[in-house]
Structures are given as structure tokens and as C-alpha cells.
Structure 1
Amino acid sequence: MPADTVTVVSRATTEHVAPAERIDYWEDYNRRALVGLSCTSYSDQGLLARQTNIELAAIRLADIAGNAHAIERSPQTVRSAPKDSVFATLLLTGDAVFLHEHGCLAATAGELVVYDTRSPYLFGFSSSMRQMLVDIPRDLFDRACLAGGLPAPMLFGRDTAREGTLVAALRSLLGGLAALRSGWEPDHAEAAVLDLLRQLAAERTGGRPGHDGYRTQLIVAEDYIERHLHDPALSTARVAGVMGISVRHLARIFESTGRSPARHITERRLEEAHRQLTGGGARDTTIADVAHRWGFSSQAHFARLFRARFGRTPSEARAATSG
């Protein structure tokens, strides 16, 4: 593989393993590929799980899915299979409990748990689950994300609007990396992941976020815009407010794209409206419905912008496709 390519280093699944042997297989694979652990299954089928491990420079990303189960790093396992990393686990589907020395965290889909692998823990999943786990060498996490290290396991995603926005942006970034469709170089991907985690840590601990890299801030802004394109109230001021920055700074972030934040919002809405009007089922959709769906409060305003952008009216675009 070229050095500038995000690399899949290993894959595993228990699907083709005899049910009685699945736990041993899974524990052995994780001991070699990720971390030493013990596993318990709560299904009559035994453990049904799959994992893909991806290398991003000095950190790794594990895409893990399975049925109801629990994994544990007991004090004995911590001693016999040491691991000096911080794990950042983003739960995509399912619910989980994270038991540790100082208490219990309950996580739901869309939330992030960050914890130190040197300390014992139990992670339990009550139903089918999928998670993205970022494996970060502890010294790198201390330097890049949280000076002084992680005081205790932390749960992110529900405290503030900015925190939720950062976790959503991390989810978007990790999803693209796991699907091998992001176009990121490993060093840049690593820097973006670490910067988002740094911003989350600063948000929680009260530290100063510092001067965030524009590329990472652009990920956050674009992700927030994509998730709110339908909302007529979406504006540059709202995006800036959620990110905790000024409108002027938001404009600087978008300079590399060649268009302003407001223009980006309008362009993305027009692109999605055009896609809907020229795609399957376009004849069953009214122009007014399309305009409303993509955040345009006025059909006449939408029609003017659409014609200026695509050289024909919404009706003409739909008719051309239907013909």
C-alpha cells in the first residue's frame, strides 16, 4: 500500500466459526489486533461479531459490530496483557453500560466514551451494536488531546450543543474513514481525529480550545450544515454559535472552499433539490414540497435561485427528466 493511503490491517468475523468456539476466537483475535480482553455472550447463537482494523499513522480505527455481549478487562487481564492506550469509542447503534473503578456510564447511540486501557473496565451491550473505536497511544493522547492525561472515563455527546456537534462531526469523519471513501491521507486523518477529541476535552474540562485548525473546523461546520439543511432557520450565525466562534471566523474557515458559509448552505440546498427533482419519483413531488423540504421558505425565491444555478426552472428540470 502507498504511504499516503488509509490502510486496512486486519478483518475478522465469527460468522463462520462454530458457536462453541466463537468466544475463544474473538478473544484471541482481539488480543493480537486490539487489546487483551475476556468476552461473554448472551445469545443462544453465541457471539456473532465482526471487526475491521484500519491504520491512520500512529492511531488505529476499529469498526466493530455484534449481537448482545460484554467485554471486560479485569485487573488480572490488565496485568497479564498490558496496553498503554486511550480508547475513544463512539457508539453508532445500540445501548451500552461502561463499568469502571469509579462508577458506571450509560451510553446510547451517538455518544462517545473515552477511557484508559491501563485501568480495568467492563463494556456491556444489551442488544445488537456497532461502534467505532479509536486506539490512541496514551502519550500521544496526553500531548495532542488532554495535557496531564485522562483523569477518569468520560462520556461525551449530551452536555452542550457544541459537544453534540463535535461528536457528530467525529462520527461523520470516522464513518468516511471506515468506509475507505474519505480521501484523507493518514497523517491528516489522524490530526483531524485528535483535534476533534482535543476540542471535546477542552469543552468538558473548561480548558481553552485554542486556535483550531481550519480544516478540522470545516469538518464540524459542514457536518452541522448537512444535518440541518431542511431547517429554514439554518444560518451562518447559528452555525457559528453552535461552534462557539464568531461569524467572521466562520467565514475565514470557508475561504479554502471558494465560497462563503451562506453560499455553501444555499448551494447544498440547491444541489439536493436538483437531485430530488431529477431523480426517480420526481413526477410525484410538487415544486413547493421540494422547496420546503430543503429549507426554502419561499417557492418564488427558490425558483429564482434554482434557475440562476442550473439554467432552467425547477419545472423544466423535472419535465426534462420525466420525458
Structure 2
Amino acid sequence: MMDHSAPYDYAWSGAGASRCIQVPLDQLTLPVDVVRRALPHLTASPLYPMVTDHIAHLTGTIDDLLDDPASAGLEEITIGLTRALVASAVRQDHHTRTVLAETRLAQIRAYVRRHLTEPDLRPARIAAAAAHHISERHLYKLCAQAGFSLNRWIIEQRLEGAREELARSSSSSRTIAAVARHWGFSDPTHFSHRFKDAYGISPRDVRAAAHEKS
């Protein structure tokens, strides 16, 4: 990690390449002194392998990820992981505890987005997932502290995924009912009501507009 607001050197010898992300300091929401104290100690953090692996996958598959509706929110997740890495590399304090809680929530959001189309995506499964290992009660507590309803947010994310798919002319070969099922809605009528309540327009009208543009 390099702090672009301070002098630094960066070089290597021989063949090779580098992958990186740039995060504006104000988006880390950490004091500058905390960031600078963390720089020499990042590799000692237990989060270091996870964050470097995330960066490698992110930069190596960015084109495919940008084409995937389920990848919405990658920026938020990446910033959250970076913030957690910095916070965990300094002594345990208020910033560290707060950031680690935020990072766990970011991991939960990322997990949900990856599995949005799976019908058995329920709070018990999310809480028990490999990256979380928390109780369902603690999961709801994290969400409440962040000010959002987990169940409502999952429905919102599924509706948004369905809307983006219906708005693509390339999805016209799949019926609206099939799109609804793909995004976790088993009842097409219930899906249409939810969709219209959320966007003020029916799924059929979204598809028709996509046909007119193509």
C-alpha cells in the first residue's frame, strides 16, 4: 500500500506486472494518521491474504464482473475490505472495532449478491456461511445497527437484478415468469406486483421499452 499524499518509491527488477486499486482517502473514513501507522504492518494482518486475493480477482476479471448484474456494489465491498485491512494493521481501538463490524457486513452483502438467484438464500444460511460463522441473531443485529432490513434488502436486490435483465434486449428469449423464477420469485403475479410497487412500471412495460430501443 502506498499513500499518494506522501512521497514514496515503487520499483522492481526483472519481468513482471502489477495490479492495484486506488481508494480516495476520504472514502476510507479513517484518520490519515491511522492509515500511515498501518502502512508498515499490513502483511502482518490476518486480512492481508484475503484482500490481496480480492484485488487479484477483481483486476483480473473486471470486464466479466462489470457485465454481471449481480456484481453491483463491488466498489463498496472493495473499499470496505481495504478499510478493514488498514484498521486491523494498527492497534485495537474504536476505529478497528467499528471497521471490522462494517467489513463483516460488507462480506455479508457480497455473499448475498453472489447468491441472489438461489431460492434457499435465507438468513440462517447467510449467518452460517463460511465467511461469517455468526448466529442468525447476530446477523440481524449487524443489519439493525447499519439501519437496514436484511429481508427487504434481498428483495430489493433481486428486483433490481430482474429489472436489469428485462431491460436488456438479449433477454427476450426468456419469459417474464422465467426471469422472475431466476431471481427468486416463485409466483409471477406476486413478482409483478412487487416490481410495479418498486419502479412504478410493470415488468412487461420494461421489456417492451427494451424492444423499442433495439
Give the TM-score category using the shorter length: 0.5 to 0.7
**Inter-partner Cα distance in structure 1 for 2:208 and 2:98:** 49
Instruction: State yes or no: 1:270 paired with 2:159.
Output: yes
1:51 aligns with 2:18: yes
Q: Is 1:226 equivalent to 2:113 in the alignment?
A: yes
Aligned to 1:246: 135
| TM-align CA RMSD | 4.4
Corresponding residue for residue 25 of structure 1:
14
Segments of structure 1 that go 5 or more residues without pairing to the other structure are: 13-23, 27-48, 61-135, 147-155, 157-166, 198-209
Distance of 1:261 and 1:248 partners within structure 2: 12
Say how many residue pairs are matched: 176
The structure with more helix, counted as a fraction of residues: 2
Residue pairs, 1:164-175, within 5 angstroms: 171-172=53-54
The secondary structure found in structure 1 opposite 2:169 is: coil
Which residues in structure 2 correspond to 1:86-105 (within 5 Å)? none
The one-letter amino acid paired with 1:215 is E
Distance 1:53 1:10 in 2: 12
Superimposed CA distance per residue, residues 262-281 of structure 1 (whole angstroms, 9 cap, x where no aligned partner):
11111111001000111232
Distance 1:248 1:289 in 2: 34
* Matched residue, 1:32: none
CA contact (8 A) 2:19 2:55 kept: no
Percent identical among aligned pairs is 27
SS of 2:198's partner is: helix
Alignment correspondent of 1:297: 186
Residues in 2 aligned to 1:55 and 1:312: alpha-carbon distance in whole angstroms:
38
| 2:111/2:126 contact within 8 Å kept | yes
Aligned residue for 2:17, secondary structure, equals strand
**Structure of greater Rg:** 1
Q: 1:260 aligns with which of 121, 144, 149?
A: 149
Shift of 1:140: 5.5
TM-score (norm 1): 0.43
